[in-house]
Structure 1
Amino acid sequence: MLSDVLLVSAPGKVILHGEHAVVHGKVALAVALNLRTFLQLQPHSSGKVSLNLPNIGIKRAWDVARLQLLDMSFLEQGDPTVPILEKLEKLKEVADFPEDCTDHERLAVLAFLYLYLCICRKQRWTAEDLELINKWAFQGEKVIHGNPSGVDNAVSTWGGALRYQQGKISSLKRPPALKILLINTKVPRSTKALVLNVRNRLLKFPKIVAPLLTSINAISLECERVLEEMATAVPAPEHYLALEELIDMNQHHLNALGVGHTSLDQLCQVTMAHGLHSKLTGAGGGGCGITLLRPDLTGPEVEAVKQALTGCGFDCWETSIGAPGVSVHTAASLDAPVWQALDGLCAGQWASSS
């Protein structure tokens, strides 16, 4: 049982280059963001394990003694890396969902229960522990997304920047702390449907789409080269010019693949009016985009861009890439206002008497 409050966090992530092409064996570059999800673990004597996810409106509790009496042997059957649909169906009975529970709420609760019931929690971790964290985080991804690539959980576990190709993940050495804007167009989309559309377009126009995927692969490799050069020397204006050109080319390629959207076009037009370069990140079809911020930009210039984007109805965050991976925090390691805010409102929290 935990004797003190434990606060851990992990960074968010974006894809710099390689969206959709990675599905077809090409290289993708993923980076950790300095925007973090926090998890607070707090012991209490109520005899319940409580889950509070205020960002998505979930607050649930289960009696620990009842959980311990349930037959959970099905969770230990087979390799945890194989599909777990059968286990999830049984877990739904444990979750005891109310009738008005939405699909994303159900998935969030199932992911929590699966991990909570399977994992022996630790407060410190070695390299082996990080491997285990990554492994179990991947299971949570599978609960929610079905057949994920493994990029999201890996970059949130280790942080920094990762190269991903055909299931193989490697870290980029000392990626530069580039500043970016992360913009949410708030246009919903289906990743599964967009991936299928690209596959169908490849089958229909193989001589057109295959070279596009090869070109996107080359963009990822060139971006990797530029980032490594920036990490070993003083970043120069030509480095940022190269990154901006790569962003523009990749965005045009993604539009040609059919995963663009009018909201993303608007995003690019707004930032280009301020001399900045943007592209979609992730599946496309709406969703999120990123904008590179050159180091010569002033604070008022960045604020003007952010105001223009929010004026379009978008959400906008200023952040940086290459953030550290999963971390343990104490009151001393966080600024007082941050700790106070998190103490009352964490992105995720559970409390248990066991």
Structure 2
Amino acid sequence: MAGRELYVSAPGKVILHGEHAVVHGKVALAVGLNLRTFLRLRPSKDSSTVEINLPNIGTKFSWNISDLQVLVPSFQDSPENEPVSPSPQQLTILKTFAGISSETNDTESLAVLAFLYLYLSICGQKLPSLEILVWSQLPTGAGLGSSAAYSVSMAAGLLAAGGKISYPAQDNSETTRWTQTELTLINGWAFQGEKVIHGNPSGVDNAVGTWGGALRFQAGKITPIERVPVLQILLTNTRVPRSTKTLVAGVKDKLLKYPNIMEPVLSSINAISEECQHVLQAAVDRLSKEQYSILEELIDINQHHLNVIGVGHPSLDRLCQVTACHGLHSKLTGAGGGGCAITLLHPDIEPTVVDSVKQQLSDCGYQCWETSIGAPGVSLHSSSSLPEDVRRSFQTA
């Protein structure tokens, strides 16, 4: 990519159905969220440095390549460029180099560690001089796969910069994707970035970021779902903080205490995921009115189930009431206990209705985005094909 700029993006993710039940061996459906993380990579003006700029979190770092080169023997390329998991020793080396305390796990520190690990591991002996700017439409810490979108776009950019995946020719309006073999390599390295950030991730978030569309996840097995239509949604963040670990433990405690009550509920959530997958795969280009009605009923049933297993919250109840007053159907997505929810939007819904809902939810103190699910995975962009907000952010960062 000598002398060329590279623009890459990867989507976030939402759980359509199956959250919490998936912990107990049931099916979950994860879908690409068309709020994306964008990366610009270009040769550095100073050939002796590498720089990463993360304006969303106010972080900018620059290192001398000669200093990083000393670390390379501890991050040798794997055979055939196969992704390698970060070892505790490697993470200690990176934390010492970056001046990060071993107990620190804030967003800025983890993003820097993931970048350094991927840069040293992917680029190997010939560390390129680069300027990397990452800007995201995704909020952090909201359960929307922001770290995975970061890891996927970073892995793709570094692999392309190192000549380990192709850099397809483009015209000024194109957005292109890589081959399945190249996507598999991107996903493998993105998973290692996720391990740096999360320790023991499931692999679902980076898989959605890589392939997009929809994925079926059960008992550790991830299966892409073919021909999934793109669905318009309203994504709402209640801004209520929650602990995923505490919520998962609470469901487990209820299951142990009331197995004959809880197991049928989890089995019903599994059946909802299965039915939703069937409806999505049966759609030809777009969903019929009858298929939309089924998806809406499944959303309502699942939201009730999630309240039954103890992961609801008054903020989510209020959200569902607001949207129901306008004939719309909503459910939490992710851990629950606050956090985010999705509301399905019909293709023929009046814009004034959506505007009214957004205003009412905003008045509740919530944050809303009108977006879509089933979004494409990691993609290579021309500069002119970037969204206007992204282009402005790259120009001002």
In structure 2, what is the equivalent of residue 182 of structure 1? 235
Residues 313-324 of structure 1 mapped to structure 2, 5 A cutoff = 313-324=365-376
Q: 2:182 aligns with which of 129, 132, 136?
A: 129
Q: 1:251 aligns with which of 303, 310, 314?
A: 303
Q: 1:199 to 1:72 in 2, by over 3 A?
A: farther
Q: 1:204 aligns with which of 257, 273, 277?
A: 257
- 8 Å CA contact 2:159–2:186 kept in 1: the answer is no
Which consecutive residues of structure 1, in runs of 5 or more, have no partner in the other structure? 347-354
Total equivalences in the alignment: 343
Partner-residue secondary structure (3-state), 2:369: strand
Counterpart-to-counterpart distance in 2, 1:318 and 1:181: 5
In structure 2, what is the equivalent of residue 8 of structure 1? 8
Partner-residue secondary structure (3-state), 2:327: coil
For the pair 1:95 / 2:86, whether they are aligned, the reply is no
Counterpart-to-counterpart distance in 2, 1:18 and 1:239: 19
Counterpart-to-counterpart distance in 2, 1:285 and 1:331: 40
For the pair 1:217 / 2:262, whether they are aligned, the reply is no
For the pair 1:155 / 2:208, whether they are aligned, the reply is yes
For the pair 1:289 / 2:311, whether they are aligned, the reply is no
Q: 1:143 aligns with which of 196, 200, 206?
A: 196
Q: Which amino acid aligns with 1:117?
A: L
Counterpart-to-counterpart distance in 1, 2:391 and 2:348: 34
Residues 99-110 of structure 1 mapped to structure 2, 5 A cutoff = 103-110=106-113
In structure 2, what is the equivalent of residue 17 of structure 1? 17
Counterpart-to-counterpart distance in 2, 1:33 and 1:60: 29
Which consecutive residues of structure 2, in runs of 5 or more, have no partner in the other structure? 124-157, 161-165, 167-177
Identity of aligned residues (%): 61
Q: 2:315 aligns with which of 244, 260, 263?
A: 263
Residues 31-50 of structure 1 mapped to structure 2, 5 A cutoff = 31-46=31-46, 47-50=48-51
> For each residue in 1:268-324, what CA deviation from the matched residue of structure 2 results, as whole angstroms up to 9, or x when unmatched?
111111111111111111111100011221111111111111111111000111111
Counterpart-to-counterpart distance in 2, 1:345 and 1:169: 39
CA RMSD of aligned residues (A): 2.3
Q: Which amino acid aligns with 1:13?
A: K
> How far 1:90 sits from its partner (Å)?
2.4
Q: Which amino acid aligns with 1:24?
A: H
- 8 Å CA contact 1:331–1:339 kept in 2: the answer is no
After TM superposition, the score normalised by the length of structure 1 is 0.90
In structure 1, what is the equivalent of residue 171 of structure 2? none
Q: 1:181 to 1:85 in 2, by over 3 A?
A: farther
- 8 Å CA contact 2:322–2:361 kept in 1: the answer is yes
- 8 Å CA contact 2:233–2:373 kept in 1: the answer is yes
> For each residue in 1:122-180, what CA deviation from the matched residue of structure 2 results, as whole angstroms up to 9, or x when unmatched?
33243222111111111122222222211110011011111111122222221111110
Partner-residue secondary structure (3-state), 2:43: coil
Counterpart-to-counterpart distance in 1, 2:255 and 2:89: 34
Counterpart-to-counterpart distance in 2, 1:64 and 1:234: 50
For the pair 1:63 / 2:64, whether they are aligned, the reply is yes
> For each residue in 1:203-245, what CA deviation from the matched residue of structure 2 results, as whole angstroms up to 9, or x when unmatched?
2221121111111100000001111122x27522221111111
> How far 1:333 sits from its partner (Å)?
2.7
> How far 1:82 sits from its partner (Å)?
5.1
Counterpart-to-counterpart distance in 1, 2:261 and 2:197: 33
- 8 Å CA contact 2:7–2:383 kept in 1: the answer is no
In structure 2, what is the equivalent of residue 119 of structure 1? 122
In structure 1, what is the equivalent of residue 223 of structure 2? 170
Counterpart-to-counterpart distance in 2, 1:31 and 1:148: 17
Question: Which sits farther off after the overlay, 73-82 or 204-213?
Answer: 73-82
After TM superposition, the score normalised by the length of structure 2 is 0.81
Residues 76-87 of structure 1 mapped to structure 2, 5 A cutoff = 84-87=87-90
In structure 2, what is the equivalent of residue 302 of structure 1? 354
Question: Which sits farther off after the overlay, 103-112 or 65-74?
Answer: 65-74
Counterpart-to-counterpart distance in 2, 1:33 and 1:339: 16
Counterpart-to-counterpart distance in 2, 1:206 and 1:83: 39
- 8 Å CA contact 1:75–1:87 kept in 2: the answer is no
Q: Which amino acid aligns with 1:227?
A: L
Q: 1:257 to 1:83 in 2, by over 3 A?
A: farther
Counterpart-to-counterpart distance in 2, 1:208 and 1:277: 26
- 8 Å CA contact 1:31–1:160 kept in 2: the answer is yes
Q: Which amino acid aligns with 2:306?
A: L
Counterpart-to-counterpart distance in 2, 1:220 and 1:295: 22
Counterpart-to-counterpart distance in 2, 1:311 and 1:115: 42
